[in-house]
Structure 1
Amino acid sequence: FNQLLNYSARLTDKMKCIAEYWADGPRSETPPGHWNALAHGISYRDQHSIGDDVKLFLALNGALFDASIAAWDAKRAYDSVRPISAIHHLYHGQTIKAWAGPNQGTQEIPGDKWQPYQALTFVTPAFAEYVSGHSTFSAAAAEVLTRFTGSNRFYDGKTVLYDDFNRDGVPDLLGQHVINVGGNMFENSPEKVIVLQWETFQQAAGEAGISRLYGGIHIQDGDRYGRRMGKQIADQAFDLAQQYWSGAIKR
């Protein structure tokens, strides 16, 4: 938990942007939906047929469903504490240096008043920390996309999408997200334009995982083992999906 406090005390605008972009919390598309949206861009880049998309999204969502089962099984089995509860307990009666709240920057605050980098209405999920669902989902999705396309290449600098997720009137590039000045939701940041760019699917998945530490929602083990689980789950799910579309498994 000391690692999280170090992050909290040293949050840069880019770290805040990463935490917000991958948050996928209440009333959002959630991490599986986020990765489906990214996969739409791959479909567009590679000029998929309907048949191609049937195969891709069968494999992708099969892996994501399996990832959810495995991650929540671990959460129920280990019932591990979330950072907000642990830090309030461990640092009760102590003064710590940390992010002090929206637009308050880093200050010395009571340990039992620490809060994650989130909006006040965007609370820590009410289920166990270990493992990180974001990390499990993201590693699984990255592995499926790599195996389906035959390459882990994501950003290419030239594929212009129909999407405009930051609503700046400029179509997005595949494998990139731009946060304009003041474009964050949780506070009035960043002070200058921040570009998140992922050369590979694994780079995007890794950023999704570490975003939960920047945001104060998970600790390192939840991220690390979630990534490991996600890749293993995806390999099994992809192998099974291949058997369905090749006809090896009969209906």
Structure 2
Amino acid sequence: MTLPTVRGWRRRVAGIAAAVLVAGIGAAPPAAAATSTVDTALEWYDATAATIATGTRPQVTNSRAWAISWLAAARATRTGAGRHYQEAALASAVHTALTTLIPEGAPTLDIALRTTLERIPDRRTRQRGVAAGRTEARSLLAQRAADGLDPASVNPAFPTPDPGPGIWQPTPPSLTTAQQAGTRFATPFLLDRADRYRPGPPPAPDSERYRADLAEVRAYGAADSAVRTPQQTDTATFWLGSSLTLYTGILRAALAQSTRPIATRAGLVAIFHVALVDTQIATSDAKYAYLRWRPVTAIRAGAGGDPQWTPLHPTPAHPDYPSGHNTYSGAAEQVLTALVGARARGPYTVTSPSQPAATRTYSDWRRPTEENIDARVWSGIHTRTADEVGVQLGRDVAAYTVSNAARLFA
């Protein structure tokens, strides 16, 4: 399976963008100059990120919290006109959703809500916005209450398959049982079924394509690789951390650079995370449909293998195909390209939790995807085919999300 041609990709993006405009999502004119110097959407974006960063919940559970809180905000801001009303509605919706989903964050979120509301001079406007935000958040929380994205449902006990060529087995050093096996059974926000875009099977273990994939990982992804450059090691390390955390900075850049009204900007964040939740459900479906072993297992156990081979970075505890990091990247790139454009309004700089002292600067949304594909190979974690197929799966799910985004606001 290969990535789409540039021409096909451009046609697809153009078609998606047109569908979004017809649906009325993102078609609003630029916002008028605000009298306040505080960007309320960005203020609550940062509050959301800080709240979600607490604890050890699965990534998809955190993505769900983003999606619920900002979809509620996007709906609430569309229930009335006026910047102050919409600011109160956004703050109230995000506050209500997050304090319910992550109650330990309530004290800090309460302070943030008071700070926002104190800037709104008209009491009646403030109260109406707060009421709208609470109503939308409570409604959506009730709707998603049993969606299967809580930590216990995401990570049920999963029996280790019998070993065999190509079959996933727990990986060293932790030999942890398979994780995220339950995500495939969760209820998507928009996707009609988890396997709608399930890719075809991975290359057979004895195929030429798989042998080439494995040879690349063996050479470039080894902890003691003699061919991986320092720059490649940096790329692998930068992109090692949680995809949600890494893309929080990228989406923030798009939000900060936007001149659209607050309701449209809230919609961008909501659609982004709805797409990412549905992508993670589709990823789990594909991973556990194929149960493809990880490179470390193949290299150690295969014919002529190296039982001492060790990847640069520890291998996550779930199957190789497709790469979850790259389904996330593909979906994120697709949403931002469709709703913002192929390029950012200006250069943006992001950080990484797995390489705290480093920053990287980009001018578009595609370059992070390209780096992510390479990074998982150079980490010794994924084959290139798993990465490339992951990108396409993410793009497919996100394209479906954007094309059907009007249903989120009906």
TM-score, length basis structure 2:
0.43
- CA displacement at 1:90 relative to structure 2: 2.3
Please say if 1:7 is aligned against 2:224: no
2:220 & 2:281 partners in 1: Cα distance?
Answer: 30
Residue number in structure 2 paired with 1:107: none
- CA displacement at 1:36 relative to structure 2: 2.7
Structure with larger Rg? 2
| DSSP-derived class of the 1:126 partner | coil
Residue number in structure 1 paired with 2:134: none
Cα pair distance change 1:184/1:202, threshold 3 Å: closer
Please say if 1:18 is aligned against 2:230: no
Alignment equivalent of 1:115, drawn from 286, 303, 310: 310
Alignment equivalent of 1:237, drawn from 401, 404, 410: 401
2:252 & 2:296 partners in 1: Cα distance?
Answer: 35
Are the aligned partners of 1:136 and 1:227 in contact in 2 as well (CA < 8 Å)?
A: yes
RMSD, aligned CA: 2.4
- CA displacement at 1:195 relative to structure 2: 6.9
- CA displacement at 1:84 relative to structure 2: 1.0
Q: What 5-or-longer segments of structure 1 have no aligned partner?
A: 25-29, 95-110, 158-173, 186-192
Cα deviation digits, residues 22-52 of structure 1 (max 9, x gap): 111xxxxx21232132111111112454313
- CA displacement at 1:200 relative to structure 2: 2.0
Cα pair distance change 1:153/1:137, threshold 3 Å: same
Residue number in structure 2 paired with 1:153: 343
Cα pair distance change 1:210/1:14, threshold 3 Å: same
* 2:255 aligned partner, one-letter code: S
Are the aligned partners of 2:288 and 2:319 in contact in 1 as well (CA < 8 Å)?
A: yes
Cα pair distance change 1:154/1:34, threshold 3 Å: same
2:361 & 2:249 partners in 1: Cα distance?
Answer: 16
2:408 & 2:374 partners in 1: Cα distance?
Answer: 34
| DSSP-derived class of the 2:342 partner | coil
1:35 & 1:206 partners in 2: Cα distance?
Answer: 14
Residue number in structure 2 paired with 1:206: 370
Cα deviation digits, residues 84-143 of structure 1 (max 9, x gap): 111111266x6xxxxxxxxxxxxxxxx22221112xxxx311110000001101000001
Number of aligned residue pairs: 192
Cα pair distance change 1:222/1:87, threshold 3 Å: same
Cα pair distance change 1:194/1:13, threshold 3 Å: farther
Bigger fraction of residues in helix: 2
1:48 & 1:3 partners in 2: Cα distance?
Answer: 45
Matches within 5 A, 1:64-79: 64-79=276-291
Please say if 1:35 is aligned against 2:225: no
Q: What 5-or-longer segments of structure 2 have no aligned partner?
A: 1-213
Are the aligned partners of 2:373 and 2:384 in contact in 1 as well (CA < 8 Å)?
A: no
Are the aligned partners of 1:154 and 1:175 in contact in 2 as well (CA < 8 Å)?
A: no
1:52 & 1:13 partners in 2: Cα distance?
Answer: 42
The higher-RCO structure (CA 8 Å, 6+ apart) is 1
* 2:308 aligned partner, one-letter code: K
1:242 & 1:203 partners in 2: Cα distance?
Answer: 29
Matches within 5 A, 1:126-205: 126-149=317-340, 151-154=341-344, 156-157=346-347, 174-175=348-349, 196-205=360-369
1:36 & 1:207 partners in 2: Cα distance?
Answer: 17
- CA displacement at 1:194 relative to structure 2: 8.0
Are the aligned partners of 2:322 and 2:389 in contact in 1 as well (CA < 8 Å)?
A: yes
Residue number in structure 2 paired with 1:188: none
Alignment equivalent of 2:256, drawn from 44, 48, 59: 44
- CA displacement at 1:242 relative to structure 2: 3.4
| DSSP-derived class of the 1:124 partner | coil
Are the aligned partners of 1:132 and 1:223 in contact in 2 as well (CA < 8 Å)?
A: yes
TM-score, length basis structure 1:
0.69
Residue number in structure 1 paired with 2:125: none
Cα deviation digits, residues 161-180 of structure 1 (max 9, x gap): xxxxxxxxxxxxx14669xx
Cα pair distance change 1:48/1:42, threshold 3 Å: same
